[in-house]
Amino acid sequence: MDNTNTPAIEFVDVVKRFGAGATEVRALRGVSLDVAPGELVAVMGPSGCGKSTLLHVAGGLEQVDAGRVRLQGRDLGDLGATDLAALRRREVSFVFQRLNLLASLTALENVSLPLELDGVGAREARGRAREALAAVGLDGDSIGRLDRYPDEFSGGQQQRIAIARAIVGRQRVLLCDEPTGALDVATADTVVELLAGLPQRFGTTVVLVTHEPRFASWADRVVFLRDGQIVDQTPSLLGTGLSAEVSS
Amino acid sequence: MSIREGLLALLHDGPRHGYQLKTEFEAATGGVWPLNVGQVYTTLDRLERDGMVHAHEANGISAAGVDTGRAGQRTYALTPAGEAELKAWFTTTAPEGPPPRDELMLKVLMAVGVGRAQAVQVVTRQRTVLLAHLQRVRRERAGADGDLAARLVTEALVARAEADLRWLDSCETHLLADRRRR
Q: What is the DSSP string of A111-162?
A: HHHHHHHTT--HHHHHHHHHHHHHHTT--HHHHS-TTS-GGGS-HHHHHHHH
Instruction: Tell me which of A138-142, A159-163, A204-208 is least confident.
Output: A138-142
Residues of B in contact with A234 (CB under 8 A): 128, 131-132, 135
Residues of A in contact with B162 (CB under 8 A): 213-214
Q: Is the pLDDT at B72 greater than 80, yes or no?
A: no
A34-81: per-residue pLDDT in tens?
999 999 999 999 988 999 999 999 999 999 999 999 999 999 999 999
| A22 confidence band (pLDDT: 50, 70, 90) | confident
DSSP A178: S
Amino acid at A145: R
Select the residue from B138, B165, B175 to test the A interface by mutation, using most A Cβ atoms within 10 A: B138
Nearest chain A residue (CA) to B162: A213
What are the Cα distances from residue B81, in Å, to B18, B43, B47, B78, B85? 20, 16, 10, 8, 6
Residue B181 has what pLDDT? 64
Contact A10, A177 (CB under 8 A): no
Which residue segments constitute the domains of chain A, with CATH numbers given?
A: 9-233 (3.40.50.300)
| A2 confidence band (pLDDT: 50, 70, 90) | very low
Q: Is the pLDDT at B145 greater than 80, yes or no?
A: no
Burial (CB < 10 A; 0-12, 13-18, 19+), residue B55, is middle
Helix (H, G, I), strand (E, B) or coil at A44: strand
Residues of A in contact with B128 (CB under 8 A): 222, 224, 232-234
Facing B131 at nearest CB: one of A222, A244, A247: A222
Instruction: Report the b/e string of A200-234 with b at 16+ CB within 10 A.
Output: eeeebbbbbbbbbbbbbbbbbbbbbbbebbbbbbb
A135-A194-B146 Cα angle (round to 5): 105
Residues of B in contact with A216 (CB under 8 A): 131, 134
Give how far B2 is from chain A: nearest CA, Å.
Answer: 30
Facing B139 at nearest CB: one of A214, A226, A245: A245
Q: Flag if A213 and B142 touch (Cβ within 8 Å).
A: no
Nearest chain B residue (CA) to A242: B139
Residue A187 has what pLDDT? 86
Q: Is the pLDDT at B59 greater than 90, yes or no?
A: no
How much of chain A, in percent, has pLDDT values that exceed 90?
66
Give how far A200 is from chain B: nearest CA, Å.
Answer: 14
Instruction: Tell me which of B57-71, B136-150, B162-176 is least confident.
Output: B57-71
Helix (H, G, I), strand (E, B) or coil at A37: coil
Residues of A in contact with B179 (CB under 8 A): none
What is the interface size between A and B, counted as CB pairs within 8 Å? 56
Domain covering B4-91 assigned CATH 3.40.50.720 in the classification: no
Q: Where are the domains of chain B?
A: 4-91, 103-181
- Rounded Cα distance, B73 and A138, in Å: 58
Select the residue from A41, A214, A240 to test the B interface by mutation, using most B Cβ atoms within 10 A: A214
Whole-number average pLDDT of chain B = 87
Cβ-proximal residues to A136 (8 Å cutoff; 6+ apart), any chain? A160, A161, A163, A164, A167, A194
- Rounded Cα distance, A158 and A155, in Å: 5
A99-158: per-residue pLDDT in tens?
789 999 999 999 999 999 989 999 999 999 999 998 888 876 655 688 899 999 988 889
Contact A228, A28 (CB under 8 A): yes
Of A247, A106, A130, whose CA–CA distance to A190 is shortest? A247
Contact A222, A210 (CB under 8 A): no
Cβ-proximal residues to B28 (8 Å cutoff; 6+ apart), any chain? B6, B10, B149
Whole-number average pLDDT of chain A = 89
How much of chain B, in percent, has pLDDT values that exceed 90?
49
| B178 confidence band (pLDDT: 50, 70, 90) | confident
- Rounded Cα distance, A127 and A124, in Å: 5
Nearest chain B residue (CA) to A212: B162
pTM of the predicted protein model:
0.82
Q: Is the pLDDT at A1 greater than 60, yes or no?
A: no
The residue among B148 and A139 whose pLDDT is bigger is B148
Residue B93 has what pLDDT? 76
Facing A217 at nearest CB: one of B125, B131, B169: B131
Instruction: Tell me which of A20-29, A175-184, B69-78 is least confident.
Output: B69-78
Of B150, B164, B145, whose CA–CA distance to A190 is shortest? B145
B104-135: per-residue pLDDT in tens?
988 998 898 888 899 999 999 999 999 999 99
Nearest chain A residue (CA) to B142: A245
The residue among A196 and A183 whose pLDDT is bigger is A196
Residues of A in contact with B138 (CB under 8 A): 217-218, 244
A217-248: per-residue pLDDT in tens?
999 999 999 999 999 999 999 887 765 555 44
Cβ-proximal residues to A238 (8 Å cutoff; 6+ apart), any chain? A36, A38, A39, A40, A220, A221
Within 10 A of B34 (CB to CB), how many other CB atoms are there? 9
Q: Is the pLDDT at B24 greater than 90, yes or no?
A: yes
Facing A231 at nearest CB: one of B124, B132, B173: B124
Contact A203, A174 (CB under 8 A): no
DSSP B33: S
Q: Flag if A217 and B125 touch (Cβ within 8 Å).
A: no
Of B125, B123, B102, whose CA–CA distance to B175 is shortest? B123
How much of chain B, in percent, has pLDDT values that exceed 70?
89
Nearest chain A residue (CA) to B144: A247
Residues of B in contact with A210 (CB under 8 A): none
Residue B20 has what pLDDT? 93
H/E element, A23: none
A68-115: per-residue pLDDT in tens?
999 999 999 999 999 998 888 889 999 988 878 999 999 999 999 999
